Amino acid sequence: MTAQHTIRVASARSGRRRTAQREPSRSLLRIGIAVILALIFAFPVVWTVVGGFKPTGEANASPPVWWPSQFSIESFTTLNGQGSSLWNYVLNSATATLLTVVITTVVAVLAGYAVARFRFPGRAAFFAVTVGMLLVPYPALLVSLFQVMIWLHLTNSLFGLSLIYSTFQLPFAIYMMRNSFDSLPGELVEAAEIDGCTKITALPRVLLRLVSPGIVTVALFAFVAAWNEFLAALVLLNNNPDFTLPIALMNAQSGPMNTIDWGALQAGITVMMLPCVLLFILLQRYYVSGLVSGSVK
């Protein structure tokens, strides 16, 4: 029966190859549609980046100019001079984002290791609560988080904001790290634990390197979430110099007398998009592994 099966599969394989060769027009159609769709998806990004580098006059021209007569950083300098500087906002966003990445990663590695390798009372409850957080949408908690931040003296603080971002990254991050530690071969971990004297010292000495793909995935997702977050920053930051980039952009967009410098806006959006798109290009496989880790199981 096995042999028969093998033959069936083999003949089916060659059969498929033959049909694929027989239908080049169909696969050409597929490639054509796919490429056109990909270009349509890329168009808004390209349009905006090009728009950011148009001279101010051309960026605000009506009807719009498809391609600039010359590339210019005028829009970026305009944005840098409005109220508080663009670089100040970039720095704010970068601070909140990097704090979030560091806090999320450290906290999730420790907690993931605990859940995967330690038996302690309340472990199941701890894991259930962290994952269960997903059932509660965080916009609903902002009303009272505002109050909590007042109590903790963390209003208008990028550090306070990053603590909140980190907390809401924990369900994914702890789950991811738990899976990473779980998927290490048991003998290896036990050997490391014996060599490393204790389970705690085995973590920095041996295990950390082994779960590094999981760590990169956790850091990547934390980065993208914190860099792009809008609502909590809108609610919890009230001083203009403290604003993160998306909030500052929203403000820059509604300029004096309802006039909008579209070039400056597009320059700002370009600065917002760039880090995430670059990280995506560099770290694609970690994106995928983040999604694979649960969606197939």
Partner 1 sequence: MNATLHADLIGGRGTRAGTKARKGAAYARGEASAGWLLASPASVLVLLFFLLPFVLTIYMSFFNWPTFGSPSPVGLSNYEHALSDPAFGRAVLFTVSYTAIASVLGVAISLGLALLVRPRFPGRTAVRALLFAPVTIGFAPAGLLWLSMSNSQTGILPAIAMAWGIAPSGTDWFARTDSTLVLVIVMTIWKTVGLAMLVLLIGMDSIPAEIYEAAKLDGARSWATLTRITLPLIAKPLSLVVLLTVTQTFLAFDQFFTMTKGGPNNSTVTVVYYLYNAAFVGLNRGYGAAIAVIIVIIMAAISIFQIRLQRGRA
> Contacts with partner 1 in 104-133 (CB under 8 A)?
106-108, 110-111, 113-124, 126-131, 133
CA angle 161, 157, 80 (to 5 degrees): 95
State the Cα–Cα distance between residues 174 and 146, nearest whole angstrom: 25
**Footprint of partner 1 on residues 146-165 (CB under 8 A)?**
146-148, 152, 163-164
The amino acid present at 197, given as its one-letter code, is: C
| CB of 73 or CB of 150, closer to partner 1 | 150
User: At its nearest, how many Å lie between partner 1 and the CB of residue 262?
Assistant: 5
**Contact stretch for partner 1 (CB under 8 A) within 67-75, 83-91, 206-214, 264-272:** 264-272
Q: Report if residue 262 touches partner 1, rule: CB under 8 A.
A: yes
At residue 192, what are phi and psi to the nearest 5 degrees?
-65, -35
User: At its nearest, how many Å lie between partner 1 and the CB of residue 222?
Assistant: 10
**Footprint of partner 1 on residues 72-101 (CB under 8 A)?**
none
CA angle 79, 82, 84 (to 5 degrees): 105
State the Cα–Cα distance between residues 112 and 241, nearest whole angstrom: 37
**Contact stretch for partner 1 (CB under 8 A) within 73-81, 84-92, 94-102, 175-183:** 175-183
What percent helix, strand, coil does the chain show, rounded to 5?
80, 0, 20
**Footprint of partner 1 on residues 202-241 (CB under 8 A)?**
221, 224-225, 227-231, 234-235
| CB of 26 or CB of 212, closer to partner 1 | 26
Q: Report if residue 141 touches partner 1, rule: CB under 8 A.
A: yes
User: At its nearest, how many Å lie between partner 1 and the CB of residue 287?
Assistant: 8
Q: Report if residue 38 touches partner 1, rule: CB under 8 A.
A: yes
Q: Please name the residues in contact with 225: beta carbons below 8 A apart, sequence gap of 6 or more.
A: 100, 165, 168, 169
H helices, E strands: number in the chain: 16, 0
State the Cα–Cα distance between residues 165 and 233, nearest whole angstrom: 10
List the one residue from 18, 47, 194, 285 that touches partner 1 (CB under 8 A).
Answer: 47
User: At its nearest, how many Å lie between partner 1 and the CB of residue 37?
Assistant: 7
